[in-house]
Chain A
Amino acid sequence: EIVLRQSPATLSLSPGERATLSCRASQSVSSYLAWYQQKPGQAPKLLIYNASKRATDIPARFSGSGSGTDFTLTISSLEPEDFAVYYCQVRSSWSWTFGQGTKVEIK
């Protein structure tokens, strides 16, 4: 079973700053990694799939990169609505795994 480790657990930044979130897999997952955003009291929302493809209507300030075991979600300039928890997720054979999440909070 693949394990996903996200870092840092919490990222304290100000609006306008750049956010860099990491997701590391315990074994290679090729490029089949997705990122989700979850705000309090809301369902998760797909941001990025296949490591670098933005989902429908996702702003260009969100970008994903990486392959193999190391992946990054970058938010180029934080907007007030971007403060949330972010999860990475991968499929391995016939199971699906989420990372433990990174909380992006207002500094």
Chain B
Amino acid sequence: DVQLLESGGDLVQPGGSLRLSCAASGFSFSTFAMSWVRQAPGKGLEWVSTISGSGSNRYYADSVKGRFTISRDNSKNTVSLQMHSLRAEDTAVYYCAKFDTMSHLDYWGQGTLVTVSS
């Protein structure tokens, strides 16, 4: 079975940094692109970032470009999101998700909560 397990969510002060990780299992990890999607409290889903299977292509939402960096380690089946210059509006549950084709996400983790507050 496909499993995605996020970790790293925490309470952080505005301007601070945080690194999220997602451990994947149950599929050929390096074959599939991966993504981070977030959901602010009581709000809808917002795409954050995508990385290709090889890791050579990375894409970001305008709201996080220049502050967040996505990466993956195909030897460890993990994908990470390094977040800098965090703002209150980055407060959200962050989901790790697997692409089927590049058009839709067929498996999601349970999410990890990031709270940006002083």
Contact = CB atoms under 8 A, between A and B. Distances in A.
A43 B108 contact: yes
B106 A46 contact: yes
Contacts of B44: 87, 98-101
Identify whether the interface residues of B are mostly helix, strand, loop, or mixed. Answer: strand
Interface of B: 35, 37, 44-47, 50, 59, 61, 95, 100-111
Contact of A49 (B35, B47, B103): B103
B109 A87 contact: no
Identify whether the interface residues of A are mostly helix, strand, loop, or mixed. Answer: strand
Nearest to A31: B103
B104 A95 contact: no
A107 B50 CA distance: 38
Nearest to B35: A96
Contact of B59 (A45, A95, A97, A98): A95
Contact of B104 (A89, A94, A97, A101): A89
Contacts of A44: 37, 45, 95, 105, 108
Nearest to B57: A94
12 contacts: A32-B103, A43-B109, A44-B108, A45-B108, A49-B106, A87-B45, A89-B104, A95-B47, A96-B50, A98-B47, A99-B44, A100-B44
Interface of A: 32, 34, 36, 38, 42-46, 49-50, 55-56, 87, 89-91, 94-101
A42 B45 CA distance: 13
Given A95-B61, A98-B46, 16 more contacts: A32-B103, A36-B105, A43-B108, A43-B111, A44-B95, A44-B108, A45-B108, A46-B105, A89-B104, A89-B105, A94-B59, A95-B59, A98-B37, A98-B47, A99-B44, A100-B44
B45 A91 contact: no
Q: Which 7 A-B pairs have the closest CB atoms?
A: A34-B104, A43-B108, A96-B47, A98-B45, A49-B104, A32-B103, A94-B59
